[in-house]
């Protein structure tokens, strides 16, 4: 109150003046005043006006379209020189190459150049089973391309060591999670590799394996046809059956539908069973035994393909299906029961190479980097599939054993044992469709790729592998220029 009275008294003491002297109006005041008003009160309008002016300027004076050198996102993976590989007779590959026109067109470029010099936008990609054999190599390629990669793995067959070299990279995330439990992620692409592919694993619990692919057929049947109460019939089977890949497939397809992501299913050549057609084309329906000892895996994958196509047709989910043939390379499980890993491990341990039957059964073997290239081309392409991804080079089991002998130990013995039930007699992919529509074919021969696998196995078998994944920089990858 005192302050107010003092102020009033001060005003009262001022001498009154009858004269009025207005300040002269400055010539630029009429322009500055609206500018100050826009800057203080109408910031959004000011920004929009600026954008409009910039648009007009860039339209009248377009930016120079002169190209500048840039790296090919596909070229950095697995390239090595002859000195790095230490494999005699293996040619050195260039670490960089120019991007293909087809790839640039897919990225939205015109005339072979990215508009306005903008770089390719990185994608958010989830890889289920990304710590496993194939998954970890796929992660390497995606990281080299500049994508943000999320690995989801429960480490049932995967190994943390396979992806440790990406720890600390801000574009890499590892989530220990079982895909049978829902997971909320915002992603652009889903590579669904989470599935035990080894005979040791899927024969250990065949009921769990087959249900992992087909149980949600029964789930929906019980819930939507016979009533919600029938759901408990499914639970009665075994609560553990949900902790497998088919419920995981359901979750991943649901995630793809929810966020609009593209979904790639890794199926298998086992869907052809013991084929009567040779080589096998994608339109061949197979010759399968639905009650055999191997049927849990074969029929489970066939069911998974059906589910993926149902989501594609019924829910407009972008789906890609790859039928993978025998694959080998570094990071394979040493004792997973597959023939290449069996032979290599036995030869390194000075054990006899076990050949089942007469050894005349045939298989085709592709190196893991060739498979990864095929998976990425399939995902980026516009064709649903299914596509055969395999190396058409065909070997009998006896021929394979002799190649392993030549590579590791020429004195290794070969031991014959009775053949297993339902073992396919012949297996060879027809990759005409992949060549024509994806522009893909394998580049690494068995005699080129096997030494790299042997090097990795030798390090792990004899325990001299250092922390991390040293093989990440030595895996060969042949790409066309």
Nearest-angstrom CA–CA distance, 338 and 330: 14
Q: What pLDDT shows up at residue 147?
A: 96
Phi, psi of 401 (to 5 degrees): -60, -40
DSSP string, 326-362: -EE-TT--TTS--HHHHHHHHHHTTPPEEEETTS--E
pLDDT, tens digit, for every residue of 204-235? Answer: 444 444 444 444 444 444 444 444 443 333 33
pLDDT at 355 over 80: yes
pLDDT, tens digit, for every residue of 236-273? Answer: 333 333 345 577 788 899 999 999 999 999 998 988 98
Nearest-angstrom CA–CA distance, 453 and 461: 12
Phi, psi of 327 (to 5 degrees): -125, 145
Nearest-angstrom CA–CA distance, 395 and 392: 10
Which residue in 363, 452, 481, 465 sits closest to 137, CA to CA? 452
Report the relative pairing of strands 394-396 and 362-364 from DSSP bridges: antiparallel
Q: Where do we find the tokens 């260039």?
A: 94
Q: What pLDDT shows up at residue 180?
A: 81
Interval 294-298 mean pLDDT: 72
Nearest-angstrom CA–CA distance, 280 and 325: 11
Nearest-angstrom CA–CA distance, 120 and 370: 23
User: Does domain 82-333+366-393+424-442 sit in CATH 3.30.1300.10?
Assistant: no
Nearest-angstrom CA–CA distance, 3 and 9: 10
What's the mean per-residue pLDDT of the chain? 75
Report domain extents, the chain: 82-333+366-393+424-442
Nearest-angstrom CA–CA distance, 427 and 29: 86
Q: Is the pTM of this model over 0.75?
A: no
Burial degree of 362 (CB within 10 A; 0-12, 13-18, 19+): middle
Residues known to be catalytic:
297
pLDDT, tens digit, for every residue of 32-78? Answer: 676 676 666 666 776 777 788 888 877 787 554 333 333 333 333 33
Nearest-angstrom CA–CA distance, 106 and 382: 10
Q: What pLDDT shows up at residue 464?
A: 57
Q: What pLDDT shows up at residue 62?
A: 59
> Any idea what DSSP says for residue 279?
S
């Amino acid at each position: 109150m005192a302050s107010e009275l003092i102020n009033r008294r001060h005003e009262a003491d001022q001498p009154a003046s009858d004269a009025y002297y207005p300040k002269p109006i400055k010539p630029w005041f009429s322009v500055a005043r609206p500018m100050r008003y826009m800057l203080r009160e109408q910031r959004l309008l000011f920004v929009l006006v600026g954008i409009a002016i910039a648009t007009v300027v860039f339209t009248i004076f377009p930016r120079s379209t002169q190209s500048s050198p840039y790296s090919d996102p596909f070229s950095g993976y697995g390239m090595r020189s002859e000195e790095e590989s230490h494999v005699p007779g293996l040619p050195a590959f260039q670490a960089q190459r120019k991007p293909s026109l087809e790839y640039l067109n897919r990225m939205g470029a015109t005339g072979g150049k990215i508009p306005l010099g903008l770089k390719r936008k990185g994608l958010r990609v989830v890889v289920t089973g990304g710590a496993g054999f194939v998954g970890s190599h796929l992660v390497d390629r995606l990281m080299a391309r500049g994508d943000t990669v999320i690995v989801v793995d429960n480490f049932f067959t995967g190994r943390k060591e396979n992806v440790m070299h990406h720890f600390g990279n801000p574009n890499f995330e590892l989530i220990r999670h079982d895909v049978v439990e829902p997971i909320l992620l915002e992603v652009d692409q889903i590579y669904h590799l989470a599935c035990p592919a080894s005979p040791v694993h899927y024969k250990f619990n065949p009921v769990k394996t087959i249900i992992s692919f087909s149980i949600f057929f029964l789930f929906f049947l019980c819930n939507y046809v016979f009533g919600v109460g029938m759901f408990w019939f499914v639970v009665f089977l075994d609560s553990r059956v949900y902790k497998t890949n088919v419920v995981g497939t359901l979750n991943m397809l649901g995630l793809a539908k929810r966020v609009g992501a593209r979904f790639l299913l890794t199926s298998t050549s086992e869907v052809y069973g013991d084929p009567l057609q040779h080589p096998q084309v994608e339109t061949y329906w197979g010759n399968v035994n639905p009650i055999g000892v191997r049927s849990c895996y074969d029929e489970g994958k066939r069911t998974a393909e059906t589910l993926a196509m149902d989501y594609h047709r019924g829910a407009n989910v972008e789906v890609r299906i790859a039928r993978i043939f025998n694959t080998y390379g570094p990071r394979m499980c040493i004792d997973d029961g597959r023939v290449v890993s069996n032979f290599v491990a036995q030869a390194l341990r000075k054990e006899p190479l076990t050949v089942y039957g007469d050894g005349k059964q045939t298989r085709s073997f592709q190196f893991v980097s060739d498979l990864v290239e095929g998976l990425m081309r399939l995902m980026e392409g516009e064709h649903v599939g299914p596509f055969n991804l395999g190396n058409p080079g065909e070997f009998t089991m006896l021929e394979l054993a002799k190649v392993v002998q030549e590579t590791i130990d020429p004195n290794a013995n070969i031991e014959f044992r009775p053949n297993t039930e339902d073992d396919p007699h012949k297996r060879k992919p027809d990759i005409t469709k992949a060549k024509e529509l994806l522009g893909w074919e394998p580049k690494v021969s068995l005699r080129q790729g096997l030494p790299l696998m042997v090097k990795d196995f030798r390090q792990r078998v004899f325990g001299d592998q250092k922390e991390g994944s040293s093989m990440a920089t030595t895996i060969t990858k042949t790409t066309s220029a």
